[in-house]
Amino acid sequence: MKKVLSVLLTVIMLAAVFTVAVSAEGGDYPSPSGYWNVVAVVKDDKGGTANADPATVPYGDTSKITAKADEGYEFVGWTFEGEFDWVEGDANSLVVVIRPKSDVKFIAEFKGEGGKKDDDHTSPGTGYNMSAALAVMAVVLTIGAASVVVTGRRYFCGK
């Protein structure tokens, strides 16, 4: 009797594990809450912003995902995780509309240097022109080096 009970208990546990595993697969069913989460982020947190609206989507509805490049950057494209249908746009569009079939994550990628143009040499913190500061430092170093040479010459050569 113990063997029969043990086998029966094992079969029930295997059936339960199999049922849970099958239920976890596939994205065609709404989450337990009946909503999908849609997340939009920026790769390496630089170059722009990304937004999903709405971020919580009822089963069958859509979400609009947008990317906006910061000054000096340009949008490269989206990478994504999760299952969804494209409604508008594609992986290279700044604005896409999707219909999620699971929780979804969109990652915007930007390229560029950002900030001001390379010919702007002002310090962001002080506003001083860095080219002028470098020129003054070069003059001071040159005068200091000449002074060391003259002083050393007098000390070692007696002149």
Residue 107 and residue 131 share a domain: no
Residue 153: inside a domain, yes or no? yes
Domain check: are 51 and 98 in the same one?
yes
Q: 155 and 106: one domain?
A: no
Average pLDDT along the chain: 75
Same domain, 100 and 34: yes
State the amino acid at position 142 in one-letter form. T
> Is 148 or 52 the better-scoring residue by pLDDT?
52
C-beta atoms surrounding 72 within 10 Å:
14
pLDDT of residue 114: 75
Question: Is residue 19 in a domain?
Answer: no
Range of the domain at 153: 120-159
Q: Do 34 and 90 have their domain in common?
A: yes
CA distance 48 to 42: 7
Task: Give yes or no: residues 36 and 81 share one domain.
Answer: yes
Whether pLDDT at 40 is above 90: yes
Per the structure, the count of domains in the chain is: 2
pLDDT digits (tens, 9 = 90+) for 53-68: 999 999 999 999 999 9
Reading the block at residue 96, the tokens are 């896409």
pLDDT number for residue 23: 38
Task: Let me know whether 56 and 85 are in one domain.
Answer: yes
Share above pLDDT 90 across residues of the chain, in percent, rounded to a whole number: 49
Residue 66 lies in a domain: yes
